[in-house]
Structure 1
Amino acid sequence: MIVRTTDEITGTNRDVAAEHWRSKRIILADDGVGFSFHETTIDANSVSEFHYQHHVEAVWVVEGTGTLTNHETGEVHPLRPGTMYLLNGHERHRVTCDTTMRMLCVFNPPVTGREIHDENGAYPAAVQAS
């Protein structure tokens, strides 16, 4: 059994931040459960581009409002608490935050915590934990 709190993760190597977002990686690949689980917060009035070419991501919005743009289809979806989106087709997408948004995210395959978004907003296929 694994029990963790976000307080324990804050300020550790599982607490990853970029210009407009912060991700607390609660479960990672080295936990050996086949997925990773993150609490991600994205700043108000920000725009973030992502493209997970090697991962499927499920996102559950728990706080804040914004929009999700699917670059593959041009569709725009409102985001608010209670909204879930699944990137099961590795879609290039944009998250535009009207207010600070907090989301719970699941990745498969699990991330190691060492990944860095490349110029396309993607993670590499596999990164070894160290």
Structure 2
Amino acid sequence: MQACLCIARLTFTAATTLFALHVQGGKPNIQKELNMFVRSIRDVEKTDFFVEWGSGTSHRLLTEQDGVGFTLCHTVVRAGTESLLHYRNHLEACYCIGGEGEIEDMEGTIHAIRPGDMYVLDKHDRHYLRGGKFTDLILVSVFNPPLAGTERHSINNQSASSY
């Protein structure tokens, strides 16, 4: 049986190092050393990683340049908007943390999305994403492989917007 153990070590400069230890046969094996960091939405708003994507905004909190293997975003889908989207190069999982909205697959199945709900697009699925009638839909979105961070949708395109 294999297990993964993550240990953080604080230094006096408030920098922290994260070690991923792979335990096999009872002996830890350091696989990779990563620098731990903290980043806020306020920090991202001052960069090109704060993206207006046509029907809302996306704070790209983790991107390809961070080297962790996925992208983490705080995504807002504006109330009353609808977007036909298609991620040809990325898988996406979203967890709703506020508001409400819905996602519709290409067969016409509509799923209401509310806080505590998540959805996964695991086959590069084309889909409609809608903000709520009167409230924004607020999501934590994860992309794999990671985004460069500055990608933008073309919502006015008749075919699905993609990147």
TM-score normalised by length of structure 1: 0.88
Gaps of 5+ in 1: 124-130
The one of 70, 84, 96 equivalent to 2:130 is 96
The one of 43, 48, 55 equivalent to 2:78 is 43
- Which residues in structure 2 correspond to 1:72-91 (within 5 Å)? 73-91=107-125
Describe the shift of the 1:83–1:75 C-alpha distance in structure 2 as closer, same or farther (beyond 3 A).
same
Aligned alpha-carbon RMSD (Å): 1.2
Percent identity, aligned pairs only, is 35
1:16 aligned counterpart, secondary structure: strand
Task: Give the structure with the higher percent strand.
Answer: 2
Gaps of 5+ in 2: 1-35
In structure 2, C-alpha distance between the alignment counterparts of 1:90 and 1:34, rounded to whole Å = 18
1:49 aligned counterpart, secondary structure: strand
Larger radius of gyration: 2
Corresponding residue number in structure 2 for 1:33: 68
- How big is each residue's C-alpha offset from its partner over 1:58-109, in whole Å with a ceiling of 9 and x where there is no partner? 00011111211011x3211011001100000111001121221110000000
> Contact conserved, 2:53 with 2:153, CA < 8 A, in 1?
no
The one of 56, 65, 68 equivalent to 2:100 is 65
- How big is each residue's C-alpha offset from its partner over 1:9-66, in whole Å with a ceiling of 9 and x where there is no partner? 1131110103321000000000001001000011111111110011000000111112
Aligned structure 1 segments of 4 or more residues deviating by more than 3 angstroms: none
In structure 2, C-alpha distance between the alignment counterparts of 1:26 and 1:41, rounded to whole Å = 13
Paired residue total:
122
Q: Which amino acid aligns with 1:68?
A: I
| Residues 1:109 and 2:142 aligned together | no
